[in-house]
Amino acid sequence: MELCDLSAFEIAAKVKRGTLSASEVLDSVLKRIQDVDGRPGSLEAGEITAQDQAHVHAFITRTVERARQQARQVDAKLAAGEPVGPLAGVPFTVKDIFCVRGTPSTAASRILVNFVAPYSATPVERMEAAGGVMLGKVNLDEFTYGSSNESSAFQPAPRNPWDTSRVPGGSSGGSAAAVAAGEGMLSLGTDTAGSIRQPAAFCGVVGMKPTYGRISRYGLIAFGSSLDCPGPLARSVTDAALMLQVIAGADPHDSTAANAPVPDYLAALDANGGSLKGLRVGLSPDYNRITFIDAATGELHQQALPAEIEDNVLKAAGRLAEMGADIVEDIPMPHTRYGIPVYFVISRVEAASNLHRYDGVKYGYRTPERVQDLPEMYRKSRAQGFGLQPKLRILMGMYVSAAQYAEQYYNRALRVRTLIRQDFERAFDLRQRGVHALLTATTPTPAFPIGDVYGDSVLMQYADQLTVPANHAGIPGISIPAGFDSTGLPLGVQLLGPDFSEATLLRIGRAYERATAGDAWRAVRPRTLGA
C-alpha cells in the first residue's frame, strides 16, 4: 500500500505521532497524480487523444508549491512541539467553484478564466487552518450545471477511475474522481441537486450533503442560492466525519449559516458501541420508481428502478438490520416524483439571477472585439464567455420568472417544494412512528458512458431524481459505497435524515461499513490503479 492509499484519519494520526511527515505524504500523492491524472483541463485542449482517454483528468489548477509550503509548515510545527490541527498533513482538493486566495477560481467557465480570487471561502480556510494540504482546484460542470462533468469549458473533462470510458458524475465529478483515484484523501464539493452524492455513488466514494446552513457558503460561487450546500467527499465515513467536523459551523460572513452547535461527529460514529439498536430506518416505495417525461405530451410517467439497483438497497437494509436497526417499510413520499420538475424551475430562476453579475466589467472575461457601446459589450462578452448550459439556464430562468408566467411556473414550483418538505417532516416524525433515516438508492443507474446523455438537458437532469428532494427540503443526506453492478461499476446507497441529523447518518453509514468490512468487493481497486 502506498501512503496515498491511507485514510485521512490514519494520515493525520501518523503525522501527529511523528511516524510520517506531511512532506512524505504529499510526495506520495503527487506521484499518484503524475501517474493517473494526465494533463489538467484547459480552454485550449485540442484533440482528445487515446492517452487522454486512459487518464482521470481531475484537475484544472494544481497548487504544488502552495501544498509543499503547507506540508513544510505542518512538519515545522511538529518539530517545534507546537499543536497542529485535526487534518495535519492530509492532502485535499477543492472543487473550482470555491474562491481560494491567490488562485484562479473559474467555475469551469471561460467567463471567469482570468479571475484570481482575493479571498478564500470559509470551508477552505478552515481546512487549511486545520493542517490540511491543498493540492489544487478540481474540475466540474460549468458553474455546476450538469450531472456528468462533460459541460466544463476546461477539457479534457474528468473520467471515472473505475472505467475511463464512463463519466465520474457531476457536478462534483473532479472531486469524486480525485478521491477515488487516491489524488488526495478528501475533497470539498457542493451539492445543489445531488452534485456530491451522485458522483460519489458513480465513483465508489462517500459523499455528504449536509443540512442547508450547516456549512458556510461564503466564497462559494453561487448557482442556486437556496439549494447550494458545500460538503465533503472522502473514501470512508470516518474521513467524511473528520472533514465535516472541521468545516461545519456558524460564520459571520454568511447570514444563512446556522448558529446551531456542531456535535462531535467522530464520537458519534461509535455511539452505543456501534450498534444501531433503537434506530428506525425506513424504505419508501416512492424511491423505487423512476419518473420520466413523455417527450410528446409532457406528462410524467413512472417505471420501476432496475432490479439490480433495488436489490442492492434491500441488501443494505438487511446489513443494517444485522447491526440492530429496525427496518420500516412502505414510508410514503408521494411528492418525490415532482422533485426534478420543481428543480428545473427554481434552480434556473436562481441561476439566472446569480449569472447577471458576469458582464465583462468588474472581473472575468471581456470580449476582445471592438464594440459600439456598453450593451454590445455585455452581449458579446456573455455570448463568448458562457457555455451552452449557463445560456440555457438564463433563458429558462428569465422566462419562468417573468410577471406573466411566474404564477404558472415559479410560484407553483415553490408550493410543490413545500409539499416535498412536508413529506420528509411526516416521515421523520418520531411521535407518529416515523423513522430516524430513510434508505434509498443514490442513483437510478451506475455511471453512464461519456457522450451518451450529454446534450439532453432533461435526460441528464433525471440522473439526480433520487437526490434532489433532499435539496428542496434542506435536509442532510449521505451516499456510501454499496458494492458493484454486474459489469463492475460502483453502486451507492443513500441515507436521508431530518435537519441537523448528520451525526445519526454518519453513525448508520459507519455501521454499514463495519457490517460489510469482510465483503470481497471492499478490496477491489479502481481500474486506473491496476490490480
Question: Which pLDDT tens digit goes with each residue over 75-89?
Answer: 999 999 999 999 999
Q: Residue 187: in which H helix or E strand, if any? A: strand 186-191
Q: Count Cβ atoms below 10 Å from residue 2 Cβ, excluding itself.
A: 12
Around Cβ 80, how many Cβ atoms within 10 Å?
7
Write phi, then psi, for 380 (nearest 5 degrees): -70, -40
Please tell me which residue in 195, 236, 284, 401 is annotated as part of the active site.
195
Task: Output the pLDDT for position 283.
Answer: 98
Residue 458 pLDDT exceeds 70: no
404 lies in some domain: no
Place of cell 465508489: 204
Query: What mean pLDDT is predicted for residues 204-233?
Result: 98
Rounded to an integer, what distance in angstroms lies between the CA atom of residue 29 and that of residue 396? 42
Residue 243 is assigned to a structural domain of this protein: yes
Q: Which three cell numbers stand for residue 316?
A: 443494505
How many domains are contained in the chain? 1
Q: Is the pLDDT of residue 459 over 70?
A: no
- Name the one residue in this structure whose C-alpha cell is 443526506: 477
- Examine residue 522 and state whether it is found in any structural domain, yes or no: no
The answer to whether position 176 is within a domain reads yes
- Answer whether 467's CB lies under 8 Å from 198's CB: yes
374 occurs within a structural domain = no
Residue pair 497/475 in contact (Cβ under 8 Å)? The answer is yes
Which DSSP string corresponds to 506-530? Answer: HHHHHHHHHHTTTSGGGG---GGG-
Relative to beta strand 490-496, strand 477-484 is antiparallel
Peptide bond into 347 cis (omega under 30): no
195 has catalytic annotation = yes
Residue 4: the pLDDT is 97
Question: What is the SS3 string spanning 427-481?
Answer: HCCHHHCCCCEEEEECCCCCCCECCCCCCCHHHHHHHHCCCHHHHHHCCCEEEEE
Give me the phi and psi of 95, to 5 degrees please: -55, 135
Residue 403 included in any domain: no
95 catalytic residue (yes or no): yes
CATH number at residue 71: 3.90.1300.10
Query: How far lies 41's CA from each of 106, 110, 139, in Å?
Result: 11, 12, 7
pLDDT bracket for residue 455 (50, 70, 90): low
Q: For residues 403 and 246, is the Cβ–Cβ distance under 8 A?
A: no
Reading phi first (left if > 0) and then psi (alpha if -120 to 50, else beta), residue 454 is in beta
Phi, psi for 406 (deg, rounded to 5) = -60, -40
For the chain, percent of residues with pLDDT exceeding 90: 93
- Of the candidates 171, 216, 401, 501, the residue annotated as catalytic is 171
Global pTM exceeds 0.95: yes
- Compute the average pLDDT of residues 468-478: 98
In a domain? residue 418: no
Query: Residues 439, 7, 35, CA angle at the centre, nearest 5°?
Result: 110
45, 43, 512: which is closest to 324 by C-alpha? 512
For the chain, the average pLDDT equals 96
Kindly state the average pLDDT of the residues 298-320. Answer: 92
CB 173 within 8 A of CB 190: no
Domain of 160, in residue numbers: 3-271
Pairing of strands 91-95, 186-191: parallel
pLDDT band at residue 418, thresholds of 50, 70 and 90? Answer: very high
Task: Count the Cβ atoms, other than its own, within 10 Å of residue 51.
Answer: 10
Kindly state the cell numbers that stand for 222. 453561487
Of 14, 21, 23, 95, which one is the catalytic site residue? 95
| 333 within some domain | no
Picking from 171, 190, 159, 237, the residue whose alpha carbon sits closest to that of residue 464 is: 171
Q: What stretch of H or E contains 389?
A: helix 388-401
